[in-house]
Amino acid sequence: MKKRILFRADANVQIGYGHFVRTLALADMLKDDFECVFYTQEPTEYQRQAVGEVCDLVALPSDETKFDVFLSCLSGNEIVFLDNYFFTSEYERQIKRKGCKLVCLASYNMHHYSDVLINYVEEDFSKYSVEPYTKILCGFEWVILRAPFRKYKSEKKISSNIITICFGGTDQYLLTEKTFRYLKNCKLQYEIHLIASSVIGTERIREFLSEGLAVHIDASAQEIANLFDISKFAILSSSMICYEALSRGTKVLSGYYVDNQVGMYNALLKTNSIVPLGNLLDENYLNSLVAALTCDNLNVASFIDYSKQKEKYISIFHLL
């Protein structure tokens, strides 16, 4: 009989879709070896469809009752996977008291009761507050990626004039407009593509199309991988999509616009994986961007190999 894993992650305009996407990517890795069920608050049609291709879905309410509702679903025989910033130390302890095994993808700014803690940004073990039994998996090797980005490419032979940009699925700070229009005014000979979700709204999408921006809305993982394969550069906020681009050999120019992106930005910078753009809410980043795009030889890493990632995660969960 297969072990049962309950995956718990939410998504909306405020918290973004990163937690949801990577948790679903993990479920996709594990679905053949475990019985997987995904729990999320008020799923959109896109979320229902995406989860439906991987495992069963249970919808939770979007108010504070969602925490207790999920706890009431636990029998004690499950493995629980949590991914979000609002899960507290006490909530982890409540899950453990049920008798469940617990895996968390979380930061190091609180105490953790989980059996396994995943954090691919901070590699200093001394910064984590955990129980004696907790196994810590840290570093880039534990980044959770969707299937197309786990297929290793040994080299990238392409002469391209395509730039792909993505500032999150919602881009609430209108960075797409600022960046695209600035590059267009600079008259650089690049074809610019945008990755975004339908949450940005039909009015913005129509405006982008009328200005000559190639738009990819709610693109699948394979479609995004295909786009990165033909892109010379990717201009991205410091989130999971940076790792996806790097897995396809695309040169990444990246910055941050919210506090929870700073850690990943610094980690990517430390390993020379990105061209740094700094704070994207600072108008000066546009000058840094053009300077990088017109540089003949950008000294950044080319490929990151995640081809063995699935096997590693299957092994970890089988040990629980």
How confident is the prediction along the chain (320 residues), in pLDDT tens digits per residue?
A: 899 999 999 988 777 788 999 999 999 999 999 999 999 999 998 899 999 999 999 999 999 999 999 999 999 999 999 998 889 999 999 999 999 999 999 877 899 999 999 998 888 888 899 999 999 999 888 999 999 999 866 566 566 789 999 998 789 899 999 999 999 998 888 999 999 988 889 999 999 999 999 999 989 999 999 999 999 999 999 998 999 999 888 999 999 999 889 989 999 998 888 999 999 999 888 988 988 888 766 666 656 678 889 999 999 999 99
For residues 246 and 236, the answer to whether their CB atoms sit within 8 Å is no
- The per-residue pLDDT for range 184-226, each reduced to its tens digit, is 998 888 999 999 988 889 999 999 999 999 999 989 999 999 9
For residues 251 and 272, the answer to whether their CB atoms sit within 8 Å is no
Tell me what pLDDT residue 298 has. Answer: 65
Q: Does domain 153-293 match CATH 3.40.50.2000?
A: yes
Place of tokens 């004696």: 132
Give the separation between CA 166 and CA 172, rounded to whole angstroms. Answer: 12
Give the separation between CA 98 and CA 67, rounded to whole angstroms. Answer: 14
Place of tokens 């302890």: 93
Query: How many Cβ atoms from other residues are within 10 Å of residue 212's Cβ?
Result: 10
* Predicted model pTM: 0.86
SS3 (DSSP) at 158: coil
CATH number for the domain running over 4-143+308-318: 3.40.50.11190
The bridge status of strand 116-119 relative to strand 162-166 is unpaired
Residue 4: closest CA among 107, 99, 80: 80
Q: Please check whether the two domains, 4-143+308-318 and 153-293, share a CATH topology.
A: yes
Tell me what pLDDT residue 170 has. Answer: 82
- The per-residue pLDDT for range 224-235, each reduced to its tens digit, is 999 999 999 999
Tell me what pLDDT residue 227 has. Answer: 96
Domain borders along the chain are 4-143+308-318, 153-293
